[in-house]
Structure 1
Amino acid sequence: EKGSTLQAQRCAALCIGILSREQLHTLAGLYFERQAAIPEKRFRWLLYQQSLQLFAFGVSTQEHAEVTVKFLEGMTRIMAKTERGKLRLTTCTSLEKIFSRVMSTADSGMSAKNDWLNFTTRYHFLAKQFSDAFTSAYSIVFKWSKRAKHALPCWLL
């Protein structure tokens, strides 16, 4: 963080992304704990938000699905309070990457596509929670997009 180079921060984010494949629950909890302790105006808040893009969120296992749903619910609470445009842009970028990975429909993402189909058929309650949190996130993004300077980053999501 403080005093480290951008390259070192990127390397740390990549390592966290790899670790999150096995320790997603722990790292997601740590993320919220650390981010809550940082004022929104500090640059580190932005770094934490950017690192989320590399977390291994998904629905391939029940544990990962539960963490992903809880994370999304927590993000919507943070999003409701986010005022700064740069943070909104980073949040939209992170969510776009997370949603793309979780709900992949691309041919190259057949595994993710199958995971998504299994998730929606096997875990009805979790799928409903995910859908509600997803809808909530998009309603916040829609509100953000009403401001001209935030419209483009929001519409990319």
Structure 2
Amino acid sequence: MTRLFYEKMLTDRFPNLQWVRVCTSAPYTVTVYACDANLDLDESTISQIQRFLSEMGMASCIHKVKHYFELQNDEVFPIGQIPDRVKSVALKGAVSYTGIQAALNAAFPPIDPERIEVDKSVVTFHLRKEEYWTPYQRRFAELMLTEILPVGSTAKVDTGVSTS
């Protein structure tokens, strides 16, 4: 399940939640930041979300629930607008190896779908050909690639260029 898939699953199950943000806060750890239209998140709702995630969330992940305002305290990087083709792929939640390869072909043409390395919770992607990417381009690509990975995982782009 991807981050966006989790968010949709939560907003479908808890329509009273106005703001929901799911993120990988540590390896194999998913934190849900949420609140309702009144900017409230009571203990009962937290318990309901935790119970729901223990049944429907990924069994390999630890699930935490916090108030939406904790995003800033936890220094969660703002996502901004996600391109439609990335969002479309992420909402399918297809996080198998072949699903990720198909997502790369559809949404990330510069990335080689045959060169994916997994080391614990970090998935490293490689460019199809040698080209220069700025640090901003690489960081943006890593954020968008993380969108198509299972929650609890993060993406790294190896551009083939030494950063030292």
TM-score with structure 2 length normalisation?
0.25
Structure with larger RCO (C-alpha < 8 A, sep 6+): 2
| Higher helix fraction (1 or 2) | 1
| Higher strand fraction (1 or 2) | 2
